[in-house]
Structure formats: structure tokens, C-alpha cells
Amino acid sequence: GAVVSQHPSRVICKSGTSVKIECRSLDFQATTMFWYRQFPKKSLMLMATSNEGSKATYEQGVEKDKFLINHASLTLSTLTVTSAHPEDSSFYICSARDSQRGSYEQYFGPGTRLTVT
């Protein structure tokens, strides 16, 4: 149980284009999902908290117009990196919290490796 998928697992795009990453909770409902970024050999950096049916909450320093988040259903959140640049190259990981459980553990997806050329 508590499986989260991400698609794609790897993506290479050209500078200036946009890339969409999908995060799905496969066997539970998630009113709250989270998007993280991880640099090589570094810990997780929370980018934003995604709430189903409402606007995402972005962490300080994260550009909301560059990293568009949509959480349209209880099982799907998307992150769109707009006008990507090489410095956006990173490992992006989503997580989800099971809405029907009283605990706060997050279940993570396998991650998406973004390379911007």
C-alpha cells in the first residue's frame, strides 16, 4: 500500500521550453501533496505544498510563476517547470500524505531527473 508514482522518470528538454511532471497516489487519496528538489549529495528541499482544489503554498525563494503546481484531483498533482534553464536541472521528487490516516508521514514517488540543455 501507499504507492506514489511519478512520470516521467527522466526528461531532457531544451532551454526555454516547459516540462510537466505528474505525481499520482495509486492506492490512496491525497488532499495534500508536496514537491521537493534535491541536488546531488544534498538533502531534500521543499519547494511547495500542493492542496487539492486550491492554490499551492510555495516556500520562500521558490518562484511560483516558474514552478506551476496544479492539484486537480485527490490522486494527481502536476509540477510544470516553465521556460526551463540549465540551472533548473535537478532531481524533482513528489510525496503525498494519505488523507484518511491521522498520521503525517509522507509517501514519496521515485523522482524525476530533469536535464535542461
- Would you call 51 exposed, middle or buried from its count of C-beta atoms within 10 A (0-12, 13-18, 19+)? middle
Specify the residue, 67 or 107, whose C-beta has the smaller distance to another protein: 107
65: contact with another protein by CB under 8 A: no
109: contact with another protein by CB under 8 A: yes
Identity of residue 114: L
For the bound state, the minimum distance from the C-beta of residue 50 to another protein, rounded and expressed in Å, comes to: 11
Site string for another protein, 88-107 (x = CB under 8 A): ---x-x-x-x-----xxxxx
Distances in Å between the Cα of 1 and the Cα atoms of 10, 14, 64, 88, 109 are 24, 37, 32, 32, 13
Question: Contacts with another protein in 31-60 (CB under 8 A)?
Answer: 32, 34, 42-44, 46, 49, 57
Specify the residue, 20 or 108, whose C-beta has the smaller distance to another protein: 108
- Would you call 61 exposed, middle or buried from its count of C-beta atoms within 10 A (0-12, 13-18, 19+)? exposed
d(CA 107, CA 103): 12
- Which residues of this chain interact with another protein, rule CB under 8 A? 2, 4, 6, 32, 34, 42-44, 46, 49, 57, 91, 93, 95, 97, 103-111, 113
